[in-house]
Amino acid sequence: MIDPTAPDYADTPVSPHRPNFFYTLIEPSASPCVSIVTPFHNTGAVFHETARSVFKQSLQQWEWIIVNDRSTDPEALAILDSYRTRDPRITIIDHEMNRGQGAARNTGYQAARSAYVVQLDSDDLLEPTAVEKWLWFLESHPEYAIAGSYSVAFDGQKYLWQNGFHSGAILLDDNQIDNKTMVRASVHAAVGGYDETIREGVEDWDFWLRCANAGHWGGTVPEFLAWYRRRPAHSDRWTTWDDPQWWKRLRATFRQKYGKLWNGQFPQPQPQ
């Protein structure tokens, strides 16, 4: 795990300089206790790193649902095909048309067989103990709907991120939560999943607000368990990203949809 006093951003969870620990699944026929859901759209060779971070998990009783959101790049399709028969715990679902991140996550949740779903994008990484620690957190804290952690931004931008669910109502002003989390599948279903009409990269912010509006909130494991592969800028992918008027309209829309959160009704889970 990264040392926050002297961070080495090259020492990722899949770095060859990391110690190697080998974990095995005791009973291959056992049902998964965790489902990992990953949207995939034209992801390049970095997907192999994401896969290695999944295979290196200390908790091995998982299923990995990869949702191919109508990829078109031949290299990306070849990479994805190489995982179709690699491990029986992997399921690949192919969308017939490109529907966006939110829809791909919803498809993964619908296919999940476990009560807990880990959200992992196709170019991001997890520390080897991330899934296990999030599971223990939710098992030990029934008052929380979601488990998150601190995160490490790497690649195009490098920094340590220590905001999250514990930051509370700050979420009303800006999305402070890394989407690499573990969510109770029942909560995703109860709030209606992700809004599939949102395609500008803020579908996760809307989802957190949707959960909060329904009285569900998360907790933070205070460790750097997630690694977020950053671009130098988001504007190359979403043309609205640098438009202040678009952000102003977005915040107004959220306030209209989830108004009670701005009126002192932000959830504050109590220990059970």
| pLDDT, tens digit (0-9, with 9 covering 90-100), for 105-131 | 999 999 999 999 999 999 999 999 999
**Over 90: is that where the pLDDT of 26 sits?**
no
Both tokens of residue 156?
């195009």
Q: What element of type H or E holds 146?
A: strand 146-155
pLDDT tens profile 27-70: 888 899 999 999 999 999 999 999 999 999 999 999 999 999 99
For the chain, give the percent of residues with pLDDT over 90: 87
Identify the band that residue 261 occupies on the pLDDT scale cut at 50, 70 and 90. very high
The answer to whether the CB of 184 falls within 8 A of the CB of 116 is yes
Place of tokens 């989802």: 207
Distance CA 246, CA 80 (A): 35
Dihedral (CA of 48, 54, 60, 61) sign: negative
pLDDT tens profile 212-231: 999 999 999 999 999 999 87
The answer to whether the CB of 128 falls within 8 A of the CB of 58 is yes
14: three-class secondary structure by DSSP: coil
What is the chain's mean pLDDT, rounded? 94
Domains of the chain and CATH, by start: 34-263 (3.90.550.10)
Let me know how long the chain is. 272
pLDDT at 20: 85
pLDDT at 238: 59
Q: How many CA atoms lie less than 13 Å away from 150 in the CB half-sphere?
A: 12
Identify the band that residue 237 occupies on the pLDDT scale cut at 50, 70 and 90. low
The whole-angstrom distance between residue 179's C-alpha and the CA centroid of its chain comes to 4
pLDDT at 231: 76
Count of CB atoms situated within 10 Å of the CB of 142: 11
**Strand partners of residue 12:** none
Type of residue found at 82: S
